[in-house]
Amino acid sequence: MIAGRAEPVDAVEDARIRLRAGLVSLAVGIGLLAVKFFAYQITGSTAILSDAMESIVNVVAAIFALGSLVFAGMPADRNHPYGHGKIEFFTAAFEGGLIAFAALMIIYEACQTLLAARMTVAQLDLGVGLTAAAGAINLALGAYLVRTGKACHSLTLIADGHHVISDFWTSLGIVIGLLLVKLTGLLWLDPAIAIAVGANLAWTGLKLVRYAAGGLLDEEEVDLLDKLLQAINATSVPGIIRVHNLRAIRSGRFSHFDAHLVVPEFWSVQRSHDVSQAFEKQVLAGAEVTGEILFHLDPCRQAYCAHCDLPACPIRLEPFRGRPSLTIDEAVQEEETKVQRRAHQAAGR
């Protein structure tokens, strides 16, 4: 087995950037919460109340995210050999649950307003202005969080950023709806807008929970595998013939890969080790991934001669014809399936 690990250039700086983004999210969330509840107090709008209730979720999620970022930034230890990054999936699931709960509360309150026929709104100009300003700030904050999360490979910040951006769309819908209320005088539009907002939030929360569940269950990440495969296809090392049985686990910014690596069957253990380790470092650098690759070495069994560019091979059965690009479907296969297929194809020729 060949293993290697690539650490971030400056883990301390990376953790500092994450925590700063988390603190910015919390501070802005608290400020916007105050603004939205003030807008609700002066207008009495159920739609604005729904926006304010979502801001409560934003603040609670930001507090939880801060704790998650601190824990996820801790280095791997004996009890957590893959690091502590999985906590970010718990955070995303928690945030998704909060969003769904807030959505149910919004829908309940709006339905109560409709049934009780107690629809009143006042000072719509100021309320709409405050809601629009809060939405614009949320859009800027969300873009900042997503950008920082992608740069630091932080699911917590990415999830928080998408949630904040969804809050912008909520605010935009409420602004448009309240303007319609003012133009038409149809007060029932106010709680109706709140119900629509709640339904959209519920869908957002459920999608976030579903994504987090996939991460906790180590669901295949096609984007992550594709990123690694591009680096593998771009890295040509004589003697590294093919890769299969590829799997990946993401833990925060750290990714663990394991795969079977086909090498010439006559190579010594030492040579296979040295070449494979060099290949692993090149692939991680090319993929710009922080993590490790654990390779299990397989002998070629003279089944890959047409795709092996090793010069002066003493056991070659056919000339080298070219190395086709590795696809995800091939990379995740077991080797025996491919060897058997090639054997059947050779028998048919």
The DSSP result for 146-186, as a single string, is HHHHHHHT-HHHHHHHHHHHHHHHHHHHHHHHHHHHHHH--
Rounded Cα distance, 148 and 142, in Å: 10
**What pLDDT score was predicted for residue 259?**
92
What single letter denotes the amino acid at residue 328?
A: I
> How many other CB atoms sit within 10 Å of the CB of residue 336?
11
Distances (CA, A) of 136 to 85, 127, 165: 31, 14, 9
The CA dihedral of 282, 216, 89, 196, to the nearest 10 degrees, is 120
Q: Are strands 242-251 and 291-299 parallel, antiparallel or unpaired?
A: unpaired
Rounded Cα distance, 191 and 180, in Å: 13
Residues of the chain with pLDDT under 70: 1-12, 116-122, 252, 335-349
To which H or E segment does residue 349 belong?
none
Summarised one tens digit per residue, pLDDT across range 275-294 is 999 999 999 888 888 788 99
Distances (CA, A) of 55 to 58, 62, 135, 148, 149: 5, 10, 11, 21, 20
Indicate the DSSP class of residue 300: -
Record the pTM. 0.67
To which H or E segment does residue 276 belong?
helix 269-287
* Closest to 331 (Cα-Cα) out of 302, 285, 301, 293: 293
What residues have CB less than 8 Å from 89, skipping those under 6 apart?
A: 155, 212, 213, 215, 216
Place of tokens 């692993």: 280
**What pLDDT score was predicted for residue 99?**
79
**What pLDDT score was predicted for residue 111?**
84
**What pLDDT score was predicted for residue 4?**
43
Q: What are the structural domains, with CATH classification, of the chain?
A: 8-216 (1.20.1510.10), 222-348 (3.30.70.1350)
The CA dihedral of 332, 334, 338, 340, to the nearest 10 degrees, is -160
Rounded Cα distance, 271 and 251, in Å: 31
